[in-house]
Structure 1
Amino acid sequence: MSEPIRVLLAEDDELIREALAGLLEREEDIHLVATARDGREAIERAVLHRPAVAVIDLQMPKVDGLGVIGELARVLPECAGVILTGHGHPHVLRRALASGARGFLAKGAPGTALADVVRRVHEGKRYVDPVLAADALTLAPSPLTARETNVLATAQEDRPIRDVAQELFLSPGTVRNYLATINRKLGVDSRASAHRVARENGWV
């Protein structure tokens, strides 16, 4: 019989962490070598225990899930990362895969799904939640031009106009005009709302 798959689990919610740990520990071919409560602890314990698969919650204190996956890709490249999330926006899926994650699973998935995903990524395959994958394929294109996207990404929610203008080599008036056009295109009345809408849709 082959050696069990060594797994690290990182989840900041204690109840969820214990429930997921219980699911993994039922599997004869999976060995849970460590758990972590935040992103920094996840990285430290991964380096210490050298798991074959790291199951990482997307939203965690200190270092978020994507940051953990990116750091593990650098310090422990043989470890396959799986992002676990309760917030499955399609743009998050794209960012997760870009960070090096091999799997992307919603927390509401069936109880057996996590173990199946662990096995799949350990074999060198990828797994993406099929509902999230379908949503990503049908995601509406951005109504913003490349320049407008750049201005909004630089301006963020409340960065001073003067700083934005200086970084982009534009006049403050031009930046204000861009932001007004962006608000109109997105149907909002403030820069903060525009940035939130664009972020949630994966446009910035």
Structure 2
Amino acid sequence: MTIRLLLADDQALVRGALAALLSLEHDLEVVAEVGSGADVLDAVRELRPDVALLDIEMPGLDGIEATRAVVAAGLGTRVLVVTTFGRPGYLRRALQAGASGFVVKDVPATQLADAVRRVHAGLRVVDPTLAADSLVTGDSPLTERETDVLRAARDGASVAVVAQRLHLSQGTVRNHLSAAIGKTGGENRAAAVRVAEANGWL
């Protein structure tokens, strides 16, 4: 039985390399390749792949939100997140969104193919080192609004601009930034953003 795959990665070279490696397996067939998270759901609806391999950091819609959309569509496509960024927070968020597996891109091709087969069989596949790190790190300490504010501030935007982006008062933005700085242990909001990004909380 052939397992039909969809690959989503914004880097064409990486996407092509993954497709070439996986296509060498006798029971795997890449039926679609897309370059953004926004294109994932349409491709899933049209082609009904068995497993979607999604990167996390993609333009438009990230891999975690794309995972949530694919799972919510209820079409039977399972999601395996394959990313360069092995961050504990990403792992937790991907699993919470409904992903069946999470591996990093430096995994050997044979292990990636095996991960695809296991996910297709209904098993959960998680990088063991990342799983351990995730247990140590724990859940994000940030509230949903604090996370939104840090995301909006990650490009160095002023409080006024962040307030405009999120339709909040400047005082509310300052309060959320202050709380986020305290929870991450950063010296300032730039440091808070770095800590949150490093842990996969944003």
- TM bin, normalised by shorter chain, reads 0.7 to 0.9
Aligned length: 194
The residue that corresponds to 1:32 in the other structure is 30
Give the structure 1 partner of residue 9 of structure 2.
11
Paired position in structure 1 for 2:19: 21
The match for 2:132 is 134
User: Cα RMSD over matched residues?
Assistant: 3.2
Deviation at 1:135, TM superposition (A): 1.2
Structure 1 residues not aligned, in runs of 5+ = none
Q: TM-score of the superposition, structure 1-length normalised?
A: 0.79
- The amino acid across from 1:59 in the alignment is E
Counterpart position of 2:116: 118
Q: Normalization by structure 2: what TM-score?
A: 0.79
Counterpart selection for 1:84 from 79, 82, 101: 82
Q: CA deviation at 1:102?
A: 0.3
Deviation at 1:140, TM superposition (A): 6.4
Kindly indicate whether the alpha-carbon contact (under 8 Å) linking 1:47 and 1:76 is maintained by their aligned counterparts in 2: no
Deviation at 1:202, TM superposition (A): 5.3
| Alignment correspondent of 2:48 | 50
Question: Does the 8 A contact of 1:152 with 1:195 survive in 2?
Answer: no
Give the secondary-structure state (helix, strand or coil) at the position aligned to 1:58: coil
Partner residue, 1:73:
71
In structure 1, what is the equivalent of residue 62 of structure 2? 64
Gaps of 5+ in 2: none
The percent identity for this pair of structures is 40
- CA deviations on 1:53-98 (whole Å, 9 max, x unpaired) are 1111111122211121111112244100011110111010000001
Secondary structure of the residue aligned to 2:30 is strand
Secondary structure (helix, strand or coil) at the match of 1:28 reads coil
Larger Rg: 1
